[in-house]
Amino acid sequence: MKTNCDDLLGEYRALADLCDTLTPAQWQTQTDFYGWTPWDEIAHLAYFDETALQAATDTAAFAAGKQVLSQQLARGDEMSTVARQHFSGVDGPALVARWRRNHEALVAALALLDPKARLPWYGPDMSARSFATARLMETWAHGQDIWDVLGRTRGVSPGLRHIAHLGVTTYGWTFVNRQLPVPQPAPYVDLVAPDGSHWTWGEPSTSDCVTGPALDFALLVTQRRHRDDTALHWSGDGAEQWTAIAQCFAGSPADGPAPGVRGRAR
């Protein structure tokens, strides 16, 4: 749990530090993620980090807020609209300051929990360890949108392995979420870490596999890149289907970007 929380906090702080350098114009520049601005990206993260703190420390408050959110979504509000309303009138620097306070408190609360402790969320309850990993993944993914719109290449994330592991373990869920049969066997995954070492999952195979840079795999499963815009290689029916629709985050099935649409930083 300490490792997960340390890496989560590192991810939060790196993105917050980046946001502290944004100009007023950059805060309002549209990213490639559905036209969201950096302000929208941080508002989204800040909203769910506030509710995550409630889930970890005040389950009654979380349940009440969850019911309100359900009502907002039921009447047709988009999540981006909910976050904009929640932080209405707050400018970028003030938003980051508020977000910092909450995510620092969230990590401190999570660090006190047993890794297997169950926390309520918007789908099924989650273990504290999985909860921290999910927050890390979402922070990294939305942070990528901001790095991209700035045309800058981010440094190596300490949480990259967590995201890669989440991407692999959601192989079956990607298909179940779309009401599709899960191809078997699950592909062997062999990823090259930033330091040149290999991270592997499954039984070694050359006929059913996904291989390549761990960073590119993380960009694929978080739907920040189309597979054709990565250096990944895949073979086998399962890998062919999976890399076309991979989705490591919860929610309704989402379609990733078309070839060449994302990745202006590359």
Per residue in 133-192, pLDDT (tens digit) is 999 999 999 999 999 999 988 888 889 999 999 999 999 999 999 999 999 999 999 999
Residue ranges of domains in the chain, CATH in brackets: 2-155 (1.20.120.450), 161-245 (3.30.1050)
Residues 189-239 have pLDDT tens digits of: 999 999 999 999 999 999 999 999 999 999 999 999 999 999 999 999 999
Cβ atoms of residues 229 and 263 within 8 Å: yes
Q: Where are the beta strands (DSSP E) in 57-215?
A: 118-119, 126-127, 188-192, 198-201, 209-213
The reported pTM is 0.94
Residue 19 neighbours by CB under 8 Å, 6+ apart: 38, 42, 92, 96, 146
